[in-house]
Amino acid sequence: MSTDAIKSSIQIASRIMEAILAKQLAPGTRLGEQQLSELFGVSRTLVREALTRLVTRGIVTVSARRGWFVIEPTPSDAREAFEARRVIELGLLRHARPITNSAIAQLRDHIAREQAAIEGDDIGARSYLLGDFHVCLCECLGNTLLSDTLRDLTARTTLTAMLHQSSEQAEDSCAEHVHIVAALERGDLAAAEQLMHDHLQHVEAGLNKAGFNDPLAPLRLALAPVSAVANVFVAPARSKQAVSRVVKK
């Protein structure tokens, strides 16, 4: 969809969501009304409507004095988002009807595009497609009502760790998608559910490693009580004999 085709607040909101899922809009990015109005060739009123939609969906925050910003989820926010994703995605698979051949073909086409993006080193496309697989699966399982909710939750987890996913991690995620679809194709919903559970665990673990580092760690350590700092740095340097002598005294 080109900027020339943007004619509604829904399309503007969708474009912003696509940019987030492709890791092209970082957490905390300011979304200026005037700039977006000029970019899309629409009125500021239409831009405000789009941004208000995203505020309602929990993707954008607004301040009367500062303007509109992409949210900056905390690690706690991300954990809650993953918990919600598990409830939705595993529940859908647990109660799914047998999937149709056309749905399997759609999922396989999606995976083929994932693989092409990975092989071509298109970081934005691979990030978007790997996240959108889950939305596509939701739609293929016949629940379009939950697909928008799932897209928003995926955007939240993407924003939590904006460090680009490595090629190895992307390949692993794509391979896990292949196994999930294969289980669905043979009608083994229990296996598909377990594979999805494991997949979400792997993705969350990757975000924990990349995005949940404590940014206040240096200051936290610097301002810790002296006794606590001494325990960190002095105790490991002492030999067992030295500690024993101190205890005896």
| Region 222-245 average pLDDT | 46
pTM for the structure as a whole: 0.77
Q: Which residues contact 54 (CB under 8 A, 6 or more apart)?
A: 13, 16, 17, 60
Q: Which pLDDT belongs to residue 170?
A: 85
- By the 8 A CB rule, do 196 and 180 touch? yes
| Region 223-230 average pLDDT | 54
- pLDDT over threshold 60, residue 247: no
Q: Which pLDDT belongs to residue 38?
A: 94
- By the 8 A CB rule, do 161 and 207 touch? yes
Q: Which pLDDT belongs to residue 108?
A: 98
Q: What is the pLDDT of residues 13-54, one digit of tens each?
A: 999 999 999 989 989 999 999 999 999 999 999 999 999 999
Q: Where are the beta strands (DSSP E) in the chain?
A: 60-63, 67-70
Q: Which residues contact 207 (CB under 8 A, 6 or more apart)?
A: 78, 157, 160, 161
Q: Burial level of 59, CB count in 10 A (0-12/13-18/19+)?
A: buried
Helix (H, G, I), strand (E, B) or coil at 62: strand
Q: What is the pLDDT of residues 145-166, one digit of tens each?
A: 899 999 999 998 888 765 445 5
Closest CA to 60 of 31, 92, 89: 31
Q: What is the pLDDT of residues 63-112, one digit of tens each?
A: 988 999 999 888 788 889 999 999 999 999 999 988 999 999 999 999 99
Q: Which pLDDT belongs to residue 36?
A: 95
Q: Which pLDDT belongs to residue 234?
A: 41
Q: For residue 247, give the amino acid letter.
A: V
- By the 8 A CB rule, do 170 and 118 touch? yes
Q: Which pLDDT belongs to residue 205?
A: 83
Q: Which residue has the tokens 């995005």?
A: 211
Q: Which residues contact 18 (CB under 8 A, 6 or more apart)?
A: 128
Q: Which pLDDT belongs to residue 214?
A: 52
Q: Which pLDDT belongs to residue 6?
A: 60
Q: What is the pLDDT of residues 178-226, one digit of tens each?
A: 999 999 999 999 999 999 999 999 988 876 665 455 555 455 555 656 5
Tell me the HSE value of 48 on the side-chain side, using a 13 A CA sphere: 7
Structure tokens at 232: 């960190």
Q: Which residue has the tokens 């405000």?
A: 48
**Mean pLDDT, rounded, of the chain:** 83
Query: Between 177 and 228, where is the model more confident?
Result: 177
Closest CA to 55 of 85, 21, 17: 17
Q: Which pLDDT belongs to residue 243?
A: 33
CA–CA separation, 189 and 239 (whole Å):
56
- pLDDT over threshold 50, residue 246: no
CA–CA separation, 21 and 156 (whole Å):
9
